[in-house]
């Protein structure tokens, strides 16, 4: 089954080509749409919602043609915009109920679905307070809730982690993952932060300058260049387990990165090991066992999808905190 | 085995929705009713109810006084003022109401960028514009027709001639319906031009009052110099005198123009055309405005 299909889709404005013969075939699951600002991500979303006609080519969402079935598509699809879109003087409940009705839900269903959805995105008592007093993280949750409230088959999330701090970003990414795994709703999520999509998405599409740069499953992307984060405990024999393991792993011939996670709590206790294949996992496991220390975690770290972009000199890891100004209040 | 009384956490998982989806027409109606309620502060904060409710009360009080006088004065056979004159006399209140509520209805969606959320749902641009326009016009109609209703009921209680009163009431209703459409159109266009509510309020007051001031001044000069023809044509250039002209020509109203003559049926037809043209123009301008306001 295909959720989104485009066939040599182009969008040209008088002075700029936003999409250039883009052909995509996206199935169910969580799909990341990666590209720098201006790569054509938002243009693609507009076309998929049937709001902006393509210059040439065709596109279908959930099997419906965007040119002829825009209204039907928008009934089955949720959309979370990148920018602020919430009136500050109403409560999250009132706002989401209204948006549910705008999607065609009868009044009673709109109320029930709103209560359910706000709970699922993690808004509880605060949902009765005016949105103006919410933190950026809470506002993002309301924006997500209004996109999910009518139980769509697909949600289009435009930069959902924008303006969030690292913890908020992780929570949002976890939530997005659950949207598919628990709710069964397919997701197209855009980001210019490549790393965060690796853990969240099943499939990543990279666009640049309106062209398809690459489209493949996340495992393909990270297979060759994965980085493993390893954290171990200390033992009596090795009072500093991390250092001991670092030494042992280097001797075993593995490449260790310098701590790339400075500034995060506990960063000093995490070793970043370059994984060159399945055997790397075995080596780490065996080394830890030999040292007799406890393995707290070993996980893949966000990294290196960025290499796809390296030729295009995109600052993939710029920590962008654009929305910081709207925090608090 | 755990005792039955132990606290349990129920995790109600995600429930999908299989119920009806009522589609575009329902969404348009929902937007209409939300906007209409909003125009009187219903469903909004207590603070935002104050002004519209106050203006509504101010609109109704003179009608109640008129009715009280008509009933109290012995031997009276008609209301002290005509149904069609009421809106002209209370035009400042009507203008204030429009200036306060039209920006509330459209500027907010623009300012907080809620418009894209509407257009990402089944409705189209035309639905949004029609729902907002209809809601504003209905709110204006409620504001202007309620006092007429009070007067009509009062007149019937005072046992004035039923046929006369009902005819006058009907003419008044047609007049305020036209006024509601015309004023709402102008107000919404002004408000939709700017996401800043304050500018919208100022622009609406300016568009209603400045032409009116200018028109009455020039009409006054024309009257004193004996140029009666100019009086009739000048009335085309402000919204309220436009309504005045139409209802004087077709709805048996007494004109507030200097001299009290008002336009004849021939010139009155031009008035009607201009009024209808402005309503259609406002609608077209709103449609054009939201062409770009999508995502």
Which of A42, A85, A104 has the CB atom closest to B21's CB atom?
A104
Chain B neighbors of A151, CB-CB under 8 A: 16-17
Whole-number pLDDT of residue A35: 85
Residues 173-192 of A with CB under 8 A from B: 182-184
Rg (CA), chain B: 24
Q: Looking at CA atoms only, how far is residue A110 from chain B in angstroms?
A: 10
A82, closest residue in chain B (CA to CA): B295
pLDDT higher than 50, residue A10? yes
Q: What is the largest CA-CA distance in chain A?
A: 71
- Which of A199, A94, A187, A206 has its CA nearest to residue A144? A187
Beta carbons within 10 angstroms of residue A199's beta carbon: 16
The shortest C-alpha distance from B159 to chain A (Å) reads 45
Residue B8 has what DSSP assignment? -
Q: Judge contact between A95 and A86, C-beta under 8 A.
A: yes
Half-sphere exposure of B240 (CA within 13 A, CB side): 25
Q: Are residues B43 and A94, on separate chains, in Cβ contact within 8 Å? A: yes
> Nearest 5 degrees, angle CA A107-CA A112-CA A116?
145
Q: Among B103, B174, B190, which residue's Cα sits nearest to residue B141?
A: B174
Do the chains contact at B16 and A183, CB–CB below 8 Å?
Answer: yes
CB contact at 8 A, B146 and B97: no
Nearest by CB to B113, which of A84, A94, A98? A84
B68–A contact, CB cutoff 8 A: no
- Contacts of residue B269, Cβ cutoff 8 Å, sequence gap at least 6: B249
User: Which SS3 state, helix, strand or coil, does residue A31 take?
Assistant: strand
Q: Which has more pLDDT, A6 or B258?
A: A6
Cα A164 to chain centroid distance, Å, stands at 12
Q: Give ipTM to 2 decimals.
A: 0.88
Predicted pLDDT of residue B229? 81
Asked if residues B243 and B179 have their Cβ atoms less than 8 Å apart, the reply is: yes
* pLDDT cut 90: percent of chain A above it: 49
Strand order in the sheet with A256-257: A256-257, A270-274, A227-232, A295-301
Q: Mean pLDDT over residues A22-34, rounded?
A: 92
Residues of B in contact with A49 (CB under 8 A): 119-120, 295
* A85 contacts on B by Cβ (under 8 Å): 112-114, 116-117
Could you tell me if residue A34 is left (phi over 0), alpha (psi between -120 and 50 degrees) or otherwise beta? beta
> Mean pLDDT in chain A?
84
pLDDT at residue number A48:
94
Grouping H, G, I as helix, E, B as strand and the rest as coil, residue A209 is coil
User: Predicted confidence band at A329 (pLDDT cuts at 50, 70, 90)?
Assistant: very low
The pLDDT value recorded for residue A314 is 38
With contacts defined as CB-CB under 8 Å, which chain B residues touch A184?
Answer: 14, 16
The CA–CA distances, whole Å, from A38 to A19, A158, A192, A197, A235 equal: 10, 13, 10, 18, 52
Q: What is residue A112's predicted lDDT score, i.e. its pLDDT?
A: 95
Q: Looking at the complex, does the CB of residue B25 fall below 8 Å from at least one CB of chain A?
A: no
Q: Do residue A52 and residue B294 have CB atoms under 8 angstroms apart?
A: yes
Report chain B residues whose CB lies below 8 A from the CB of A101: 26-27, 30, 34
pTM, entire model: 0.82
A273-317 tens-digit pLDDT:
887 777 888 888 888 888 888 888 887 765 444 555 544 443 333
The band of A272, judged by pLDDT with boundaries at 50, 70 and 90, is confident
pLDDT in tens, B112-147: 999 999 999 999 999 999 999 999 999 999 999 999
Q: Which candidate from B112, B113, B294 shows the least CB-CB separation from A51?
A: B294
- Within the 106-125 window of chain B, which residues sit less than 8 Å (CB to CB) from chain A? 108-109, 112-114, 116-124
Residue A153 sits at the chain B interface (C-beta within 8 Å)? no
Work out the pLDDT band at A100, boundaries 50, 70, 90: very high
Residue A232: the pLDDT is 85
B26, closest residue in chain A (CA to CA): A104
Average pLDDT over residues A202-210: 88
Note whether A102 contacts B124, CB cutoff 8 Å.
no
- Nearest chain A residue to B18 by CA distance is A151
Contacting residues of A for B107, CB less than 8 Å apart: none
User: Which parts of chain B register pLDDT below 50?
Assistant: 1-2
Question: What pLDDT band is residue A319 in, cutting at 50, 70 and 90?
Answer: very low
Write down the residue that tokens 């709109």 correspond to: A110
Using the CB atoms, write b or e for A153-166: b if 16+ within 10 Å: bbbbbbbbbbbbbe
- pLDDT computed for residue A315 by the predictor: 39
pLDDT for B53 equals 96
Question: Is residue B162 within 8 angstroms of chain A, CB to CB?
Answer: no
pLDDT given at position A225: 56
């Amino acid at each position: 089954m295909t959720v989104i299909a485009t066939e040599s889709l182009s969008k040209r404005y008088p002075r700029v080509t936003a999409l250039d013969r883009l052909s995509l075939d996206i199935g169910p699951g969580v799909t990341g749409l990666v590209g720098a600002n201006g790569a054509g991500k938002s243009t693609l979303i507009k076309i998929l919602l049937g709001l902006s006609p393509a210059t040439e080519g065709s596109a279908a969402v959930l099997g419906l043609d965007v040119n002829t079935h825009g209204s039907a598509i928008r009934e089955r699809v949720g959309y979370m915009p990148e920018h602020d879109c919430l009136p500050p003087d109403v409560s999250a409940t009132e706002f989401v109920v209204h948006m549910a009705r705008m999607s065609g839900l009868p009044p009673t269903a709109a109320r029930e679905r709103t209560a359910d959805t706000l709970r699922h995105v993690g808004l509880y008592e605060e949902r009765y307070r005016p949105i103006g007093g919410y933190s950026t993280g809470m506002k993002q949750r309301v924006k997500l809730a209004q996109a999910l409230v009518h139980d769509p088959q697909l949600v289009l999330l435009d930069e959902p982690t924008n303006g969030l701090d690292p913890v908020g970003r992780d929570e949002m990414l976890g939530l997005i993952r659950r949207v598919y795994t628990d709710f069964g709703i397919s997701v197209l999520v855009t980001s210019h932060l490549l790393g965060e999509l690796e853990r969240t998405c099943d499939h990543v599409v990279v666009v640049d300058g309106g062209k398809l740069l690459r489209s493949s499953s996340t495992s393909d992307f990270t297979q060759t260049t994965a980085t493993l984060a390893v954290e171990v405990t200390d033992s009596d024999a090795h009072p500093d387990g991390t250092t001991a393991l670092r030494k042992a792993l280097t001797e075993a011939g593995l490449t260790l990165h310098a701590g790339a996670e400075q500034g995060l709590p506990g960063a000093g206790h995490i070793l970043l090991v370059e994984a060159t294949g399945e055997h790397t996992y075995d080596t780490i496991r065996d080394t830890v066992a030999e040292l007799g220390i406890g393995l707290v975690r070993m996980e893949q770290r966000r990294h290196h999808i960025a290499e796809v972009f390296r030729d295009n000199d995109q600052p993939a890891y710029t920590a962008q905190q654009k929305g910081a100004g709207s925090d608090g209040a | 085995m755990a005792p039955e009384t132990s606290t349990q956490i129920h995790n109600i998982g995600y429930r999908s929705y299989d119920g009806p989806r009522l589609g575009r027409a329902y969404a348009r109606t929902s937007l209409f009713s939300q906007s209409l309620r909003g125009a009187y502060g219903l469903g909004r904060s207590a603070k935002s109810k104050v002004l519209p409710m106050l203006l509504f009360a101010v609109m109704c009080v003179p009608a109640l006084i008129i009715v009280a006088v008509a009933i109290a004065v012995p031997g009276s056979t008609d209301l002290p003022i005509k149904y069609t004159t009421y809106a002209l006399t209370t035009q400042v209140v009507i203008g204030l109401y429009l200036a306060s509520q039209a920006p509330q209805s459209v500027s907010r969606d623009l300012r907080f960028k809620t418009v894209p959320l509407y257009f990402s749902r089944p409705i189209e641009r035309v639905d949004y514009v029609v729902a907002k326009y209809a809601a504003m016009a209905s709110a204006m109609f409620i504001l202007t027709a309620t006092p007429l209703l009070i007067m009509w009921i009062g007149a019937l209680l005072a046992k004035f001639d039923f046929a006369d009163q009902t005819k006058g009431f009907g003419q008044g209703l047609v007049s305020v319906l036209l006024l509601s459409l015309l004023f709402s159109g102008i107000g919404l266009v002004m408000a939709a031009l700017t996401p800043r509510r304050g500018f919208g309020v100022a622009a609406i007051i300016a568009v209603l009052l400045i032409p009116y001031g200018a028109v009455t001044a020039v009409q006054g000069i024309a009257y004193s110099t004996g140029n009666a023809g100019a009086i009739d044509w000048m009335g085309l250039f402000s919204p309220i005198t436009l309504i005045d002209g139409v209802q004087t020509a077709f709805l048996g109203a007494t004109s507030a123009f200097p001299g009290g003559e008002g336009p004849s049926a021939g010139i009155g037809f031009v008035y009607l055309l201009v009024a209808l043209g402005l309503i259609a123009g406002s609608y077209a301008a709103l449609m054009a405005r939201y062409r770009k306001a999508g995502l």
